[in-house]
Copies of this chain bind each other. A is one copy, B any other.
Amino acid sequence: MSFKSDIEIAREANKKPIQEIGAKLGITSDDLLPYGHDKAKVSQDFINSVQGRENGKLILVTAINPTPAGEGKTTTTVGLGDGLNAIGKKAAICIREASLGPCFGMKGGAAGGGYAQVVPMEEMNLHFTGDFHAITSAHNLLSAMIDNHIYWGNELEIDIRRVVWRRVLDMNDRALRQITASLGGVANGFPREAGFDITVASEVMACLCLANDLTDLQKRLGDIIVAYRRDRSPVYCRDLKADGAMTVLLKDAMQPNIVQTLENNPAFVHGGPFANIAHGCNSVIATTTALKLADYVVTEAGFGADLGAEKFMNIKCRKAGIAPDCVVLVATVRAMKMNGGVAKADLGPENVQAVQDGCPNLGRHIGNVKSFGVPVVVAINHFVSDTDAEVQAVKDYVESQGAEAILCKHWASGSDGIKELATRVAEIADSGVSQFAPLYRDDMPLFDKIETIAKRIYRADEVLADQKIRDQLRAWEDQGFDHLPICMAKTQYSFSTDPNLRGAPTGHGVPVREVRLSAGAGFIVVICGEIMTMPGLPRTPSAEQIMLNDAGEVEGLF
């Protein structure tokens, strides 16, 4: 038995003009800003015009802790959107844009797989509509204005040792992680330590993804802290008068992009904040716009539910005033086996015991999601190697946890393979049983917020933090940042901070290494363990195999 690759399937797609896709949601050609024939932005004027409408139902797709076996969260998001449309519902999906840098390293993009994909795949993995380039430009304009300000006299008295605003590129380039800039003499400024992050890690990205509109965006950009003075007082982006020009650079990027699934259903693909040092969800403006246009909106959040769903609920929903009506938790038999201790190379043969051993990871995520007051359904994303007994083992376990699991074959069959899940999800969303509440209140002390996440989501015994970190949190509270939510940065591979601790660990502590204030985005980043904000390329980067073939098609990108 042989399968077509994702790219082969994508190339065979029978794409419709993007105007036809927009029309499904009532967007006229005039309100679509086309980028080629299969991509468009939805105009801000149109978005403004639909604000009075009722919201559709919001469905969050999240997952167990990721394993090298793959879970197919985006694939399931796309499949579920197609499935809902197939059973006669008016549904749209909302996913994140792909980062360019990693495409040249190891992985392709985030457009789904099999017969549950969003197209045009190549463009989405390359420049798409230029949003990330705009973010890179806006970010680096601010960087240039900081050093330029220092160069011309430093009226704001910036301490050049305390410039916290780095530069960004959408490229995996480890050589830029740490640099000394402004070398070469008087004409080039004052030498200082600096560095680059990848664009998705930019606070500008987080601001864009959380902003309601351009006015809100400019306010958030102005609020960004770029440096400190010798007396430790902060210097804001606004002090450098960079917020206006940055907003101008971002005015097109702020408009959500619309493309289509293989089954010609509308998909919003907009924003892509790093899921560790930011909140890892697509943009608020895309989600809230989709909710005005569709009866059901299926979206996803980065990493497993301990990180992605937690931040979706506590940051995105809180900030945007939205709430999920149903949560779909994606699991695979293979990932259960890995959580049960099987190595990736040994995933082939049937092993019901290993599936059962891995299920507690799934169980804990089910409980966590429920703790937000939200109904949950488990989607078993079917792999061809799964046996009936293995699938049944997952179903039995989920039932024992007071939930239900539905086998989905959208990867192989598109919407036909996921109608049962779509039907059930629509029922739950329509039932109004969801009683969403965030995990902690705005007015809880910052350290208590961290403890709440660590104990109730990670099931840790304690949070380990130096006095210096506790003092820093208290200082921010005094400065008026006490109401901010927490953005946790920890490994996605485990509930704990040890990536090798699979399953459902208990008794662990959560060591906090560092805290960072993202005053523009509006959250406090709590860093537990290593955090990489500029990836490197592998020994043999995939870029070496990426090229145009004789037909002018892109090879090797995926």
Contacts and interface: CB of A to CB of B under 8 A. Distances in A.
A136 B167 CA distance: 15
B245 A544 contact: yes
Contact of A148 (B144, B151, B194, B541): B541
A136 B172 CA distance: 14
A546 B130 contact: no
A483 interface: no
A133 interface: yes
Given A182-B175, A548-B214, A145 B249 contact: no
Interface residues of A, number: 73
A461 to B, nearest CB: 32
A74 to B, nearest CB: 22
Contact of A548 (B130, B169, B244): B244
A209 B175 CA distance: 29
A147 B151 CA distance: 30
A148 B552 CA distance: 28
A248 B554 contact: yes
Interface in A95-144: 100, 104, 126-127, 130, 133-134, 136-137, 140-141, 143-144
Given A137-B127, A147-B173, A536-B151, A245 B100 contact: no
A252 B127 contact: yes
A352 interface: no
A507 interface: no
A171 interface: yes
A28 interface: no
A402 interface: no
A141 to B, nearest CB: 6
Contact of A247 (B169, B545, B547): B547
Interface stretch (A29-37, A84-92, A227-235, A279-287): A29-37
B173 A177 contact: no
A184 interface: yes
A189 B214 contact: no
A11 interface: no
Contact of A141 (B34, B188, B543): B543
A43 to B, nearest CB: 9
Contacts of A30: 37
Contacts of A34: 34-37
A27 interface: no
A500 interface: no
Nearest to A532: B187
A183 B247 CA distance: 33
Contacts of A245: 104, 543-544, 546-547, 556
A137 B171 contact: yes
A249 B133 CA distance: 13
A184 B178 contact: yes
Nearest to A36: B33
Given A33-B36, A133-B130, A537-B148, A248 B171 contact: no
Contacts of A249: 126-127
Given A130-B127, A151-B536, A214-B548, A169 B182 contact: no
